[in-house]
């Protein structure tokens, strides 16, 4: 096999690109998560930017308006909710220590044996204490990490702004790098869009709305420490096969054992009719019907993504897994075989 000067130059060029990519990755690795967060936010709020851009023709000014609105909303939410969350977590922690779990379990299971009541109450005490301690520690760690959070917020805002303003340029640049033919590229890009919509809008946004509706129920029916319970309800609403029931069902049991039956029944009906049903209604309208993304894929992606990426892994994990499945399906259908057919 003869190796000429042209082949050597190709190998050298490819090696240089790989080395540069590795060095750039090491450079941006400490801030990779705020960069990805900025890109995800730009995808979510691009429709808002496009509407503002219809009235404000200057792209820089339109993107600046969207960034100011979103960043101010995030900052205000943190300023007003963080002290309340800390206080309510402390209240829950103190209140949980006063609860006599054996009496509570006896009220829920009046015909159970003493051994069952004792073991169940002991497990509930440990479970409750571990959850509250973990949440409290996370919030306190969050407060101590404010300088790092502000730096990440700055990077995220920077990426968010330029991703909105230069979205068309980024699309053109990505298309220029793609080796796929235009027709095949369009098919795969549309599939990627459907998958992204299914994860971000169908799972994340709908989960947030469902959790907030559960939180509204806590407020309406006078449940104490509603803010912390709402945060937990939002988190569990995002996760497939779990949902806010993990929060409102124990609260319902608590209301039946401590409040009047009317309040408890009303709270139960509110969650069964509004919180549970709205999930299916919103998903059917928001998620693209073209993409049948399995909840199992989303769940595995979330569980796998949250370990290396933290809370943002709830989005990154399912997206990476779904994109891989999309590429494997394209390979199986021979969509990726003729990469250069229409480009040469």
- In tens, the pLDDT along 217-229 reads 999 988 888 888 8
Question: Regarding predicted confidence, which is higher, 118 or 49?
Answer: 49
What pLDDT is recorded for position 123? 80
> What is the dihedral angle through the alpha carbons of 247, 81, 313, 159, rounded to the nearest 10 degrees?
150
**Residue 31 CB contacts under 8 Å (≥ 6 apart), including other chains:** 152, 155
Quote the CA–CA distance of 115 and 112 in Å, as a whole number: 8
pLDDT, tens digit (0-9, with 9 covering 90-100), for 180-192:
566 666 766 777 7
What pLDDT is recorded for position 22? 85
Are 65 and 56 spatial neighbours (Cβ–Cβ below 8 Å)? yes
Are 188 and 326 spatial neighbours (Cβ–Cβ below 8 Å)? yes
Are 308 and 147 spatial neighbours (Cβ–Cβ below 8 Å)? no
Which pLDDT band holds residue 40 (cuts at 50, 70, 90)?
confident
Q: Which residue has the tokens 């990726």?
A: 336
Question: Regarding predicted confidence, which is higher, 26 or 1?
Answer: 26
What pLDDT is recorded for position 344? 45
Burial class (CB in 10 A: 0-12, 13-18, 19+), 238: buried
Quote the CA–CA distance of 16 and 65 in Å, as a whole number: 40
Can you tell me the mean pLDDT for 19-36? 84
Q: Measured between alpha carbons, how far is residue 192 from residues 34, 216, 289 in Å?
A: 22, 34, 14
pTM of the model: 0.66
Are 209 and 282 spatial neighbours (Cβ–Cβ below 8 Å)? yes
E-assigned strand segments in the chain: none
pLDDT, tens digit (0-9, with 9 covering 90-100), for 52-104:
888 888 888 999 998 888 888 878 887 877 777 777 777 766 766 666 667 76
Are 296 and 318 spatial neighbours (Cβ–Cβ below 8 Å)? no
What's the mean per-residue pLDDT of the chain?
A: 78
Quote the CA–CA distance of 13 and 15 in Å, as a whole number: 5
What pLDDT is recorded for position 339? 46
Quote the CA–CA distance of 133 and 286 in Å, as a whole number: 36
Which pLDDT band holds residue 343 (cuts at 50, 70, 90)?
very low
Which pLDDT band holds residue 47 (cuts at 50, 70, 90)?
confident
Tell me how many helices (H) and strands (E) the chain has. 15, 0
Are 172 and 118 spatial neighbours (Cβ–Cβ below 8 Å)? no
Are 159 and 38 spatial neighbours (Cβ–Cβ below 8 Å)? yes
Quote the CA–CA distance of 49 and 65 in Å, as a whole number: 8
Helices 245-258 & 261-270, crossing angle to 10 degrees?
A: 170
Q: Is the pLDDT of residue 335 over 70?
A: no
Give the ranges where 100-225 is alpha helix by DSSP (H).
101-108, 114-144, 146-165, 167-177, 182-197, 206-220
Quote the CA–CA distance of 221 and 228 in Å, as a whole number: 15
What the block records as the tokens of 313 is 């892994």
The least confident of 37-41, 211-215, 312-316, 332-336 is: 332-336
Question: Regarding predicted confidence, which is higher, 176 or 212?
Answer: 212
What percent of the chain has a predicted confidence (pLDDT) above 70?
Answer: 78
pLDDT, tens digit (0-9, with 9 covering 90-100), for 319-328:
888 778 777 7
Q: Is the pLDDT of residue 21 over 70?
A: yes
Which pLDDT band holds residue 208 (cuts at 50, 70, 90)?
confident
pLDDT, tens digit (0-9, with 9 covering 90-100), for 128-180:
777 767 766 776 777 777 788 788 888 888 888 988 888 888 777 766 666 65
What percent of the chain has a predicted confidence (pLDDT) above 90?
Answer: 4
Q: Measured between alpha carbons, how far is residue 17 from residues 10, 22, 24, 65, 226 in Å?
A: 11, 9, 10, 37, 53
């Amino acid at each position: 096999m003869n190796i000429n000067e042209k082949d050597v130059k190709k190998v050298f060029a490819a090696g240089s690109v790989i080395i540069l990519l590795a060095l750039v990755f090491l450079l941006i690795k400490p801030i990779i998560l705020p960069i990805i967060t900025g890109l995800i936010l730009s995808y979510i709020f691009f429709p808002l930017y496009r509407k503002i851009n219809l009235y404000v023709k200057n792209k820089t000014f339109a993107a600046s308006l969207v960034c100011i609105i979103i960043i101010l909303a995030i900052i205000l939410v943190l300023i007003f909710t963080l002290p309340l969350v800390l206080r309510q977590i402390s209240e829950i922690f103190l209140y949980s220590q006063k609860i006599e779990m054996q009496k509570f379990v006896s009220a829920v299971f009046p015909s159970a044996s003493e051994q069952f009541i004792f073991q169940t109450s002991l497990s509930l005490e440990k479970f409750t204490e571990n959850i509250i301690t973990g949440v409290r520690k996370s919030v306190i760690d969050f407060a101590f990490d404010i300088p790092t959070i502000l730096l990440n917020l700055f990077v995220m805002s920077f990426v968010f702004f330029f991703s909105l303003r230069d979205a068309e340029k980024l699309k053109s640049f990505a298309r220029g790098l793609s080796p796929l033919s235009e027709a095949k590229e369009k098919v795969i890009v549309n599939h990627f869009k459907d998958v992204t919509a299914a994860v971000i809008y169908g799972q994340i946004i709908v989960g947030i709305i469902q959790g907030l509706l559960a939180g509204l129920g806590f407020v309406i029916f006078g449940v104490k420490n509603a803010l912390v319970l709402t945060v937990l309800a939002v988190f569990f609403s995002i996760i497939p096969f779990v949902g806010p029931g993990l929060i409102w069902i124990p609260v319902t049991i608590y209301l039946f054992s401590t409040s009047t039956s009317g309040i408890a029944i009303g709270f139960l009906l509110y969650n069964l009719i509004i919180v549970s049903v709205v999930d299916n209604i919103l998903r059917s309208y928001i998620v693209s019907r073209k993409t049948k993304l399995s909840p199992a894929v989303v769940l595995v992606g979330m569980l796998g993504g949250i370990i290396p990426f933290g809370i943002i892994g709830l989005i990154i994990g399912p997206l990476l897994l779904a994109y891989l499945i999309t590429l494997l399906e394209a390979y199986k259908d021979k969509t990726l075989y003729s990469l250069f057919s229409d480009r040469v």
